Structure 1
Amino acid sequence: MSVVVSTEWLNDRLKNHPENTVVVDTRFDLMDPDAGRKIYLNGHIPQAVYLDLNKDLSEKPQKHGGSHPLPDMEMFAAKVGNIGIDHDTTVVVYDQRNDMFAARLWWLLQYMGHEDVHLLDGGFEQWEKEGYSVTTEVPALKAKDFKPVFRENDVADIEEVQEKLQHHKATLIDSRSKARYLGETEPLYNRAGHIPGAKNFFWKNVLDEEGKWKEVSELERNFSSLSKDDEIIVSCGSGVSACPNVLALKSAGFRNVKLYPGSFSDWISYEENEVETKDE
C-alpha cells in the first residue's frame, strides 16, 4: 500500500485494528519549540502519542553535525519500543498539514528497518476538517521490543558528500526554498547560499495546490531532470525538510537515495567549505 494514507483509512484502522496501530503526532514550530507539545495537549487524534523534533527526533546541536543531527539511534530505538512499536506495528505519523516533521519520523523509522509506517495526508488539519474525533487524553501504551536493523546506505556524512561531489559520483539536491538556496534570505544561519554543485528542488513542490501529496506521475515529472540510475543525496538546512523529498523520490521510483542529515548547517560549520549563490 501507499506510504501516504487518507483520514478515512486511519479512522477505519483505529476502529478495527487499534491493538496493532500506533499514531504519532509530530507537530512542531521551528520558531517556537514548545508550540507542538502544547497544541498536542490541547487536542490530538485519538491514541496519538507526541514526539518532539528537538527532544526526540534529533540530537542537541554540536560544533559539527548540523542544527538537527540524528538522535542517538540506539536510544531512539528504545524510545520507539516504549511507545508501543515493534516491526509488526502499523505506524501512522501526522503533522499539522503535510509538513516536514512527519516525514522526518518516517525517514528515521525506515532507516531503522521499519517498513509499515505511513503519513496521514493533510495531517491534523484535514482530520479535523472532516469531522473525525479529537481528544485531549494521553494514551497509555504498552511497551514493545523494537530491534533496529539499520540501513547504512540510506545516509551520507559530510566526507561522503565531499568525495562524491568532487568525483561526480552522485547528484546532491537542496530541498530549501529558491530564495534560501540562492542566498537571497537566510533566517537561521550565519552564512547564506548552498553547497556548491547542489540542485534546487523545493520540498513543497511534492505537494499539489491544495497541499496534498502529488500522485506518482506528478512526482516523476517533478524529478524528471534527474536520472534514476544516479545516486541522489538529499539535503536541506538541517536534514528535516529533505525528508519529504526522500519520500517523494522513492515514491517516484528512485532507489539509490540518501539523506545528508547535517545538510547546509553542517556544511557551513566548517569555515573552509565554500558556498554558492548562483542557480545550478
Structure 2
Amino acid sequence: MSKKMKISGFSALAVAIIGIFVYFSLTGIDAQEVDLSVQQEKINEYANPDVFITAEALNELMEDEAEDVVVIGTMDERGGAIPGSFEVWRPDYSGTDAYPYGGMANSKEELEALLRSFGVTEDTTLVTYAANDQHDSARLFWQFKMLGHEDVRLLDGGINVWIGAGFETGDALALGDRPETDYEAPDFNEEAFNASLDTVISAVDNNDFLVLDTRGQDEEDGSTTLSGAEGPGKIKGAMFLEYSDATAEDGTIKSVDELEEIYADVIDGDETVISYCQSGVRSAYTWLVLTHALGYEDALNYDGSWIEWSYEAYVDANQDVIDRTENGDF
C-alpha cells in the first residue's frame, strides 16, 4: 500500500470519527458499534428471534420494495431519524385523557387512528426503535402487540447501533407520505398483556403471582419520587430487579445465558410475573425481555404502574392499595 493510500484511508477514518462526534454533540445520540453477525447469532438464541432485528437486517428490509414495512422511532426531539421512518413521542401513544393522571397507554381507537395515519395495514411489518435507551420502543411494541398486530419487531440497540453500523440518518416521514388506511386492530386483547389495578391488588400476597419492580433503586426504596407520582413507596412484597440489568454496555439486549442468570434468582417459572415501574415504560422493556427473549409465557405489564398506584393511595385513599404499599408516607 502506498503512503498516499495510507494517508487517504486515515483521513476517511478521521472524518468518520469526527462525524460521529459532531452527531452526538448535536443530537445527544451516542453511536454504538456492534458486530452485526455476533448480534444476529445472539438473537437467534432468543425464544422469538423474529421479534428482534439488527441494523443491517432492517436496512435490507427497508430497501426491499416488495416489503410493506413501517418503521417508527420513539424519539424525544433528539434530531435525526432513520430515513424512511416515522417519529413519535409519548404524548402520541400514551397520556390519554381518559384518566386523571398521565402515562396510561392510549386506547385501541387512538392507536388505530395513529397507525391509519402512517398507512399501516394488517399485513404491514411494524418496527420500533429508540435512542440511547430502548424502553420506549419496547412500550410501543407492547401496545402494538396488544392490538393483535402480527408482525411487530424491535431494533435491538436502537438508532445508536444504526449509526454505529455506518447507516445514514435524516428527516422523519411526514403524515401523508404514505396513503392513509382504514386500519383496525386485528385482535385487541388487553387482558393478555396488561395487568389492571384490580389484578395487581389481587396479586399481592398471592403465590400464583410475582410482582416485579423494575424502577431505579432510589424509587424502589422510597427515597425518590418522580414527577407524575403522588408520593413514595412500592407495591408490597414486590421483588426488585431494575429493567436496565437486561441491557449490555452497547445498548443491546443481553444474551440468553446472561438473562437467565439475571432472572434465575427472582423468577422460578411457575408464577405470573407482573412488571411495573413509574408509568409502564421501563416495565414494558422487562416484559419484552421475559416474553420474547426468554420465552416466559405468563407475564403482564402493569400499565398504570406507580403513577396509578400512588394516585389510588395518596389521592383516592384506596384502602386496598394503602394496605398493599410499602415505604409510603400517607
TM-score, normalisation: structure 2: 0.75
Amino acid at match of 1:53: R
Aligned length: 265
- After TM superposition, give the deviation of residue 95 of structure 1 in Å: 0.5
Q: Percent identity?
A: 26
SS of the aligned residue for 1:142 comes to coil
Written as runs of structure 1 = structure 2, the 5 A alignment for 1:92-241 is 92-136=127-171, 138-139=173-174, 140-148=177-185, 149-151=187-189, 152-188=191-227, 189-225=229-265, 226-241=267-282
Change (3 A) 1:203 1:18: farther
Pairing 1:257–2:299 present: yes
CA distance in 2, matches of 1:197, 1:136: 46
Following superposition, the deviation at residue 19 of structure 1 comes to: 4.5
> What secondary structure is seen at the aligned counterpart in 2 of 1:50?
strand
Is the 1:96–1:125 Cα contact (8 Å) retained in structure 2? yes
The residue that corresponds to 1:276 in the other structure is: 326
Which structure: larger Rg?
2
Task: Determine helix, strand or coil for the equivalent of 1:14.
Answer: helix
**Equivalent residues of 1:61, 1:67 under 8 A apart:** no
Structure 2 residue runs without a partner (length 5+): 1-48
Deviation at 1:44, TM superposition (A): 1.1
Alignment of 1:9 onto 2:54 = no
Mapped partners of 1:14, 1:134: distance in 2: 14
Of 45, 50, 66 in structure 1, the residue corresponding to residue 87 of structure 2 is 50
Matched letter for residue 215 of structure 2: R
Matched to 2:298, the amino acid is N
Given that 1:57 and 1:104 are in contact with CA atoms closer than 8 Å, whether structure 2 keeps it comes out as: no
Conserved 8 A contact 1:228-1:253: no
For residues 247 and 54 of structure 1, do their structure 2 counterparts lie closer, same or farther at Cα, with a shift above 3 Å needed?
same
Tell me which residue corresponds to 1:80.
115
Deviations 1:169-227 (A, max 9, x none): 31111110122111122232341121111111111011112221111222222211312
Distance 1:159 1:143 in 2: 38
- Whole-angstrom distance in 1 between the partners of 2:98 and 2:182: 29
CA change 1:136–1:209 in 2 (3 A) is closer
1:67 matches 2:108: no
Q: Hey, what does 1:31 align to over in structure 2? A: none
Give the SS at the match of 2:63: helix
CA RMSD of aligned residues (A): 2.0
Provide closer, same or farther for how the CA distance between residues 201 and 19 of structure 1 changes in structure 2, counting only shifts above 3 A.
same
CA contact (8 A) 1:228 1:255 kept: no
Counterpart-to-counterpart distance in 1, 2:183 and 2:259: 32
Partner of 2:126: 91
Conserved? CA contact 2:87–2:172, under 8 Å: no
- Between the aligned partners of 1:276 and 1:96, the Cα distance in structure 2 is 33
**What secondary structure does 2:91 align onto?**
coil
TM-score normalised by L of structure 1:
0.87
